[in-house]
Homo-oligomer: A and B are copies of this chain.
């Protein structure tokens, strides 16, 4: 029995879609969340900068006494997980592998689409893992840089969201994909719009698989809290922006006042 919290972090609000699934799968686990709202988005930054910033976030969570960490951001997972693993000595999971596993189970024709930020697509990691996991698979990756700003603006179902999704995804549809992996934790917030555009293509949201993976990891390491249910969660941000609390409430169904931390000084 270990009542220390799980640390979950992202560049902003995207990781909240992972928090939502962790709350469902592990209702007895406390959560400490960090959203780097002062420096979001990471998706257009270089690998070096992504690694530098995310090391600061990981060190902050460790200083708060977490027992395990979820990297709830595909950009960080695909660019910097190796570097983070070298300094983190507690169990840590990411969002790429679980998404690959879920998508591998979903495809029938082995023609798979992956969407994410520019940095995630540039890493080439999804392509590599999907081809290892599904022999003979054809993988098409597409960066969708406007999806994160649309989600941050709350335009997840209007005409601009549909038009943008049409442009980004139309190309993948023409290539004959039968499954589409959401390779960015922001994207599930606009999943209804994405599903409308792609029709009968199977849309894979990795968040559920990520939560299941953390459940296994806690059990294997004897780190389960033993509590039946807790609401003792803490949300940190690097900048106070009114939208964070709003999106937090929209995604998680209740208010959590976020606490601001000067992450550059914490280092």
Binding site for B on A (CB under 8 A): 37-39, 44-46, 49, 145-146, 148-150, 152-153, 155, 158-160, 163-164, 167, 238-241, 243, 264
In the bound assembly, the distance between CA atoms of A243 and B46 in angstroms comes to: 11
| A145: nearest chain-B partner, CB-CB | B153
Expressed in whole angstroms, the minimum distance between the Cβ of A243 and any Cβ of chain B is 7
Expressed in whole angstroms, the minimum distance between the Cβ of A265 and any Cβ of chain B is 10
In the bound assembly, the distance between CA atoms of A239 and B160 in angstroms comes to: 29
Q: Which residues of B are found within 8 Å of A152, using beta-carbon distances? A: 44, 145
Q: Which residues of B are found within 8 Å of A38, using beta-carbon distances? A: 39, 45, 49
Of B46, B149, B155, B239, which contacts A49 at CB under 8 A? Answer: B239
Expressed in whole angstroms, the minimum distance between the Cβ of A36 and any Cβ of chain B is 10
Q: Which residues of B are found within 8 Å of A241, using beta-carbon distances? A: 44-46
Q: Which 7 A-B pairs have the closest CB atoms?
A: A149-B149, A49-B239, A160-B163, A46-B240, A160-B164, A38-B49, A45-B239
In the bound assembly, the distance between CA atoms of A163 and B149 in angstroms comes to: 15
Q: Is A239 a contact of B46 with CB atoms below 8 Å? A: yes
Q: Is B155 a contact of A159 with CB atoms below 8 Å? A: no
Q: Which residues of B are found within 8 Å of A148, using beta-carbon distances? A: 149
In the bound assembly, the distance between CA atoms of A45 and B37 in angstroms comes to: 8
| A147: nearest chain-B partner, CB-CB | B149
In the bound assembly, the distance between CA atoms of A264 and B262 in angstroms comes to: 13
| A56: nearest chain-B partner, CB-CB | B264
Q: A38-B39, A148-B149, A160-B164 are in contact. List 8 more A-B contacts (CB 8 A).
A: A38-B49, A44-B243, A46-B241, A145-B149, A145-B153, A146-B146, A149-B149, A160-B163
Centre residue among A37, A49, A239, A243 by max chain B CB count within 10 A: A49
In the bound assembly, the distance between CA atoms of A158 and B264 in angstroms comes to: 38
Q: Is B159 a contact of A163 with CB atoms below 8 Å? A: yes
Q: Is B146 a contact of A150 with CB atoms below 8 Å? A: yes
Expressed in whole angstroms, the minimum distance between the Cβ of A148 and any Cβ of chain B is 8
